[in-house]
Amino acid sequence: MNLVDCAELTTKPQDINTDKHFYGAFGSSETEVSAKHIVRLAQKKEGWYPFTLEEIKAQYNETGYIYFCFNELLSRDFIIKKEGKYYFTSEFISRVFMTSRK
């Protein structure tokens, strides 16, 4: 899967409706909920910028939950960990965008 250069993308995090569940995007409800929190972080950062574990944990904690889990997003290479940061793939963005529009 290709890592994203956020400057080249036409789809922005703000184009994704995180009020909807990403049904069918990743094959499990838990993974889709994790994806929603990651997209909300990207919306907060105003781009598909790499993020740290601390950033996503802080974003998740704002919702009242404590432990964030990527659920299959890493093992299936939708999010790529490289040198301590997490990067979006074009496949991740495509899946959340398409399912948030249904």
- Mind listing the pLDDT tens digit of every residue in the chain (102 residues)? 566 656 566 899 999 999 999 999 999 999 999 999 999 999 999 999 999 999 999 989 888 888 899 999 999 999 999 999 999 998 999 999 999 975
In a domain, 40, yes or no: yes
Domain boundaries, position 64: 27-100
> Quick one: pLDDT at residue 101?
79
Tally of structural domains, the chain: 1
Q: Is 101 in contact with 17 (CB distance < 8 Å)?
A: yes
In a domain, 14, yes or no: no
> Quick one: pLDDT at residue 64?
82
| Torsions phi, psi for 86 (to 5 deg) | -110, 135
In a domain, 1, yes or no: no
> Which of 37, 64, 30 has the alpha carbon at shortest distance from 53?
37
CB atoms within 10 A of CB 81: 13
In a domain, 65, yes or no: yes
> Quick one: pLDDT at residue 10?
81
Q: Are strands 79-82 and 85-88 parallel, antiparallel or unpaired?
A: antiparallel
In a domain, 7, yes or no: no
> Quick one: pLDDT at residue 52?
97
| Torsions phi, psi for 39 (to 5 deg) | -65, -40
0.75 exceeded by pTM: yes
> Which of 1, 75, 2 has the alpha carbon at shortest distance from 34?
75
In a domain, 80, yes or no: yes
